[in-house]
Structure 1
Amino acid sequence: MTKLNRLVVVSFIVMGLVCASVPVSAVEEGEAKQFWDQCLIKISPKCTLDIVEGIFGNGTVADSCCPELIQEGKLCYDILTNYIADRPIYISRRTEFLKKRDDLWTHCGSASKTA
């Protein structure tokens, strides 16, 4: 339970940091609000936590989260996961995390087509 609580806190901190800093560098300033409105409303907090744990931890992502992930879009998904993977705590394993990210995207793309 402590691990889950820690993951929830870390996820909210990361999402806050992402919202505060990525739009300036990743998207033109005039497009930032629209970009974040489009990305952040498409995925539930539960699926966000599952995805973060699936990529950066030892969790698994339920197939029921795949439609939300695909709806979020590849650009949003890549920017958010790159941002997390570039944090000092994760940078040494960045390549591994990005492979897991791409594998999850491929899996979810296939799962969404068969659903």
Structure 2
Amino acid sequence: MAKFSTQQIALFIVVALVCAFVPVYSVEEVEAKTLWDTCLLKITPKCALDIIDVVFGDGTLSNSCCHDLVEEGKMCHDKLIKYISDRPSLIAKESQYLKKRDDLWTHCVSISKTV
């Protein structure tokens, strides 16, 4: 039971980090709920944070997280990164983030094929 609570807390942290990029007045509740219901619950919170760090920072992604990302699906990956990169504070570099998103996807697909 404690592990379940820890996972819930970690998922909350992921969502909070996603929302941190978004001013309160611009959060679209339906879009955020759709991301939560269809995408964020499919991967571990650590992998979600690592993916965000790779695309919006200079992090690295483990092979197991690459596998989780591919299992999550391209639509969820694209939608989540696009949702974050559309924030006013990030929009200036959106094309850079979308390229990193696509490069990460290609890398993870190639890793998943070899495993």
Superposition TM-score tier, normalisation by shorter sequence? 0.7 to 0.9
User: Once superposed, which parts of structure 1, at least 4 consecutive aligned residues long, lie more than 3 Å away?
Assistant: 8-11, 15-19, 35-38
Distance 2:60 2:93 in 1: 18
- Unmatched 5+ stretches in structure 1: 1-7, 25-31
Question: How much has 1:19 moved relative to structure 2?
Answer: 8.2
Q: Higher RCO, 1 or 2 (CA under 8 Å, sep at least 6)? A: 2
State the 1:41 CA deviation.
Answer: 2.0
Question: For the residues of structure 1 that align with 2:19 and 2:44, how far apart are their CA atoms?
Answer: 13
Pick closer, same or farther for the CA change 1:110–1:10 going to 2, 3 Å. Answer: closer
Unaligned runs of 5+ in 2: 1-11
Q: Specify the SS of the correspondent of 2:39.
A: helix
Aligned residues: 99
Structure 1 residue 12 corresponds to structure 2 residue 16: yes
What is the TM-score of this pair, normalised by structure 2? Answer: 0.73
Question: What value does the CA root-mean-square deviation take over the aligned residues?
Answer: 2.8
Deviation at 1:40, TM superposition (A): 2.3
SS at match of 1:61: coil
- What does residue 5 of structure 1 align with? none
**Which residue is equivalent to 1:40?**
40
Cα displacement (A) at 1:11: 5.2
Identity, % of aligned positions: 51
Q: Partner amino acid for 1:52?
A: I
